[in-house]
């Protein structure tokens, strides 16, 4: 949060940033002195989105920044500035054209992010001074986003199942939550067979981590996150290109951990259960084989059609366990299918839900907080695409049609009809640098879902 600071009343030391666009540039110029207008003319500043101009007073001191923006995109408006403007403290001028200054400040903070675990930051970001109430609102969102990014960006050697569990443990310690963990063969003894089957071939033991927080009398909220810390594909081995970024296959777990942090930071009146099944899908002599049949925690028998459809296997035991608590709402996050990316591209998480009103609320919240999602249907006739000739159903099938939907339908079988449920199939990654969205791990759908939780339980 170092890129945002509280603006003190009467503070005149920070430098004003005035946002403008082509339609308002003439009015902006009229507020400037003659030398500043000449400077804009000489430099060709046209208020194009992403451009900026530094304006000095007669003594040469920087006193104002003009930032060209798209007024419809407040989140991206200032996101490129923290690491391009001179290192100083700035504030948003009242004359700006942005409709949502709070989103602009959030974009500034997200644009200041740098993953510095393995190398020094390029530079210290410039700071933006905001009102105390805005800082209080934005700080948890920025921290949660940075947590997702940090967890996803960390290579598997330093972010295996144990380290992912440690992240949950640190969170529990911060908020005085209760932690429980099943490791290795303890998973079999406790009836989590699919989590064990996926992770048993790794030299690092699979585990399920449970964090519990809140009053037992409050409505129950279960959050589940797919924690595949690296995915080789198992015996159905991925190609080199397909395996290159599989450190990010625990992105669902990162989102779930960050959402739990937001819930506890906001002290929402819920009985929270966070469930993180954490594994590596590795190759060894004891690896799960195609064609095996596993009896899941819920009692369904599942034929392993493809060992690279492992995420839904670890999630199904966690969802079944979460459902046993009879929550008012259960949410899972997962980097689950390439099909969702083919359908929606890298920026739009696929949203599934078993309640229309709830799913509509999430989509609407995504628009409101600039964290978009797109709903896909739980089209029940496609269940036949997971038919098995010797088990209740399979984890995948021969058809390449509707891959995101069939994965969601698989998970739905483990959620009782009387439990409200949301499933987010998210990419959790930026393929290239953009303002406010640096290359690497990314939170997608996090703010939208948290906004709905605030509406429902706040």
Band the pLDDT of 458: cuts 50, 70, 90: confident
Q: Please tell me the predicted confidence (pLDDT) of residue 146.
A: 98
Please provide the average confidence, as pLDDT, over all residues in the chain: 96
Output the CA–CA distances (angstroms, integers) from residue 274 to 40, 180, 189, in the order listed: 54, 10, 21
pLDDT, tens digit (0-9, with 9 covering 90-100), for 38-68: 999 999 999 999 999 999 998 999 999 999 9
- pLDDT(2) > 90: no
Helices marked H in 266-345: 311-323, 338-344
pLDDT, tens digit (0-9, with 9 covering 90-100), for 126-151: 999 999 999 999 999 999 999 999 99
Cβ atoms of 306 and 290 within 8 Å: the answer is yes
Q: What percent of the chain has pLDDT over 70?
A: 100
In 3-state terms, what secondary structure has residue 213?
A: strand
Q: Please tell me the predicted confidence (pLDDT) of residue 111.
A: 97
238 labelled catalytic: yes
Q: Please tell me the predicted confidence (pLDDT) of residue 11.
A: 76
pLDDT, tens digit (0-9, with 9 covering 90-100), for 375-396: 999 999 999 999 999 999 999 9
Cβ atoms of 279 and 206 within 8 Å: the answer is yes
- pLDDT(202) > 90: yes
pLDDT, tens digit (0-9, with 9 covering 90-100), for 166-192: 999 999 999 999 999 999 999 999 999
Q: Please tell me the predicted confidence (pLDDT) of residue 8.
A: 84
Matching residue, tokens 């919240």: 365
Q: Please tell me the predicted confidence (pLDDT) of residue 69.
A: 96
Catalytic residue among 226, 312, 341, 447, which?
312
Mean pLDDT along residues 10-38: 92
Contacts of residues 393-399 at CB distance under 8 Å and 24 or more positions apart, as own/partner, are 393/300, 393/302, 393/303, 394/302, 394/303, 394/304, 394/305, 395/302, 395/303, 395/304, 395/305, 395/306, 395/309, 395/312, 395/313, 396/305, 396/306, 396/309, 397/305, 398/305
123 labelled catalytic: no
Q: Please tell me the predicted confidence (pLDDT) of residue 192.
A: 98
DSSP 8-class letter at 214: S
Mean pLDDT along residues 267-272: 98
Q: Please tell me the predicted confidence (pLDDT) of residue 430.
A: 97
Closest CA to 435 of 76, 100, 1, 49: 76
Lowest-confidence pick of 9-18, 362-371, 397-406: 9-18
Token pair, residue 258, equals: 């960050």
Catalytic residue among 238, 375, 383, 456, which?
238
φ, ψ of residue 239 in degrees (nearest 5): -75, 170
Q: Please tell me the predicted confidence (pLDDT) of residue 245.
A: 96
Cα pseudo-dihedral 83, 87, 92, 96, rounded to 10: -60
Quickly count: other Cβ atoms within 10 Å of residue 376's Cβ. 21
CA distance 309 to 321: 20
Q: Please tell me the predicted confidence (pLDDT) of residue 13.
A: 85
334 burial type by CB count under 10 A (0-12 exposed, 13-18 middle, 19+ buried)? buried
Cβ atoms of 201 and 283 within 8 Å: the answer is yes
pLDDT, tens digit (0-9, with 9 covering 90-100), for 230-265: 999 999 999 999 999 999 999 999 999 999 999 999
In 3-state terms, what secondary structure has residue 340?
A: helix
Q: Please tell me the predicted confidence (pLDDT) of residue 14.
A: 93
pLDDT, tens digit (0-9, with 9 covering 90-100), for 272-303: 999 999 999 999 999 999 999 999 999 999 99
Cβ atoms of 237 and 314 within 8 Å: the answer is no
pLDDT, tens digit (0-9, with 9 covering 90-100), for 399-443: 999 999 999 999 999 999 999 999 999 999 999 999 999 999 999
CA distance 93 to 98: 10
């Amino acid at each position: 949060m170092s890129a945002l600071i509280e603006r003190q009343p009467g503070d005149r030391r920070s430098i004003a940033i005035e946002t403008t666009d082509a339609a308002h540039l003439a009015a902006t110029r009229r507020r400037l002195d003659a030398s500043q207008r000449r400077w804009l003319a000489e430099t060709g500043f046209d208020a194009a989105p992403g451009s900026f101009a530094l304006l000095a007073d007669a003594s040469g001191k920087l006193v104002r920044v003009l930032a060209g923006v798209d007024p419809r995109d407040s989140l991206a408006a200032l996101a490129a500035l923290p690491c391009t403007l001179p290192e100083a403290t700035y504030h948003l001028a009242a004359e700006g054209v942005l409709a949502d200054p709070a989103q602009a400040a959030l974009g500034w903070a997200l644009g200041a992010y740098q993953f510095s675990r393995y190398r020094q930051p390029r530079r210290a970001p410039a700071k933006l001074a905001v009102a105390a109430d805005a800082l209080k609102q934005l700080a948890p969102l920025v921290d949660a986003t940075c947590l997702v990014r940090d967890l996803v960006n960390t290579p598997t050697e330093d972010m295996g199942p144990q380290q992912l569990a440690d992240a949950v443990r640190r969170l529990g310690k911060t908020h005085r939550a209760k932690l429980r963990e099943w490791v290795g063969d303890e998973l079999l003894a406790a009836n989590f067979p699919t989590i064990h089957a996926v992770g048993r071939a790794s030299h690092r033991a699979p585990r399920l981590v449970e964090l519990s927080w809140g009053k037992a009398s409050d409505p129950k909220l279960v959050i589940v996150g797919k924690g595949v810390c690296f995915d080789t594909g198992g015996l159905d081995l991925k190609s080199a290109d397909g395996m290159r970024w599989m450190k990010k296959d625990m992105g669902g777990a990162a989102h779930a951990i960050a959402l739990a942090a937001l819930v506890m930071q906001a002290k929402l009146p819920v009985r929270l259960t966070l469930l993180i099944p954490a594994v590596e899908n590795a190759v060894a002599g004891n690896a799960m084989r195609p064609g095996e049949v596993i009896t899941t925690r819920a009692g369904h028998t599942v034929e392993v059609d493809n060992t690279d459809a492992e995420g839904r296997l670890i999630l199904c035991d966690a969802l079944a366990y979460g459902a046993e608590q009879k929550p008012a709402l259960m949410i899972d996050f997962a980097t689950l299918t390439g099909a969702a990316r083919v359908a929606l591209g890298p920026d739009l998480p696929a949203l599934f839900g078993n309640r229309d009103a709830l799913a509509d609320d999430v989509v609407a919240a995504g628009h409101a907080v600039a964290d978009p999602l797109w709903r896909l249907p739980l089209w029940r006739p496609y269940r036949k695409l997971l038919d098995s000739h010797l088990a209740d159903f399979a984890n995948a099938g021969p058809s390449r049609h509707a891959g995101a939907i069939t994965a969601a339908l698989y998970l739905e079988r483990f959620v009782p009809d009387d439990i409200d449920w949301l499933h987010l199939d998210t990419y959790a990654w930026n393929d290239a640098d953009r303002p406010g969205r640096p290359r690497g791990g990314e939170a997608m759908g996090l703010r939208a879902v948290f906004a709905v939780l605030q509406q429902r339980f706040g």
